[in-house]
Amino acid sequence: MRRCVFTSGLCFLMLLAGAAPTLAQRTTGEIIGKVMDESGAILPGVTVTLRGAGVPGAPTTVTNETGVYRFPVLPPGTYDLEYVLQGFGVMRREAIPIAVGSTVELDITLKVSTLSETVTVTGESPVVNLASAQVSTNYNREWLWNAPVRRFSYFDLINEAPGVSQTSQVGSTTSATSLGSSTNENQYQIDGTETSSTPWPNTDVVEEVEVLQLGASAEYGNVQGAVFNIVTRMGGNTATATFTFKTTS
């Protein structure tokens, strides 16, 4: 009897571990890249430090023998990177935006330097992931607060995505179509968990909204419409509060 209980528990843990990466991919992004010198030669052993509100402290990694580094499972937000290797100038990349489901490929070139030199790059054009054929639209919290649109419901946000239109609204029940698909072909997720009905969260809890319309990967199953993915806000070390009010004439 004890053997049966142990085997069942072990199988459950293996299934849970196998599901964890899939869940992370639905609510996070990642940064991956290669570090080289000015001649194009790869640089192993470079210490890469990540900083941002979405991660605790300042996690570090070291480039491998092929000069590659990677920071997976990053909550949506803006991050800074610092690259350090003895004999080379320090390179800093600031304000790197990470969206839900995005893979930012960031290759870096370090210059030989005998001095304590630091090069900081801020505000460059966002890196485009050429390896993905997905068609998606992401709206982060900054856009949410600054865009001149209604934001009383989640559907006020996704209706701004190209090709999406609201089809009906009865009380708290709302549906939408995407690129000609029917309403029952869509998939709705909150923090990586698929919901059985259309969600209706307050927009104050939203960190980012992803509308994935074409090229959805196998992790979403046989979805034929759009994937509407909501990522809620995380806690922090500073107490903050927001409120929303609505007036009618």
Rounded to whole angstroms, how far apart are CA atoms 64 and 59?
16
State pLDDT tens for residues 43-71. 999 999 999 988 989 999 999 999 999 99
Domain harbouring 226, CATH code: 2.170.130.10
Let me know whether 142 and 211 are in one domain: yes
139 in the same domain as 117: no
pLDDT tens for residues 194-221? 876 666 667 777 888 888 876 666 666 7
Say which residue, 132 or 226, is predicted with more confidence: 226
188 C-beta neighbours (distance < 10 Å), count: 19
Are the CB atoms for 198 and 206 separated by under 8 Å?
Answer: no
pLDDT, tens digit (0-9, with 9 covering 90-100), for 91-122 = 999 999 898 888 899 999 999 986 666 666 66
Q: Do residues 145 and 224 both lie within one domain?
A: yes
Q: How many CA atoms lie within 13 A of 189 on its CB side?
A: 25
Task: Answer yes or no: is 127 within a domain.
Answer: no
Question: Domain residues for 225?
Answer: 135-232
Domain identity same for 144 and 206: yes
Q: Are residues 141 and 114 in the same domain?
A: no
Q: Are residues 224 and 146 in the same domain?
A: yes
| Assigned domain for 14 exists | no
> CA end-to-end span of the chain, whole Å?
69
How many separate domains does the chain show? 2
Own/partner contacts of 157-160, CB < 8 Å, gap of 24 or more, are: 157/203, 157/206, 157/209, 158/209, 158/211, 158/228
* CA torsion, ordered 150, 156, 158, 159, to nearest 10 deg: -90
CATH number of residue 113's parent domain: 2.60.40.1120
Give the model's pLDDT for residue 165.
Answer: 75
Q: Do residues 71 and 54 make contact, with C-beta atoms less than 8 angstroms apart?
A: no
Query: Is residue 179 situated within a structural domain?
Result: yes
Claim to verify: residue 105 and residue 140 sit in the same structural domain = no
- Model-level pTM greater than 0.75? no
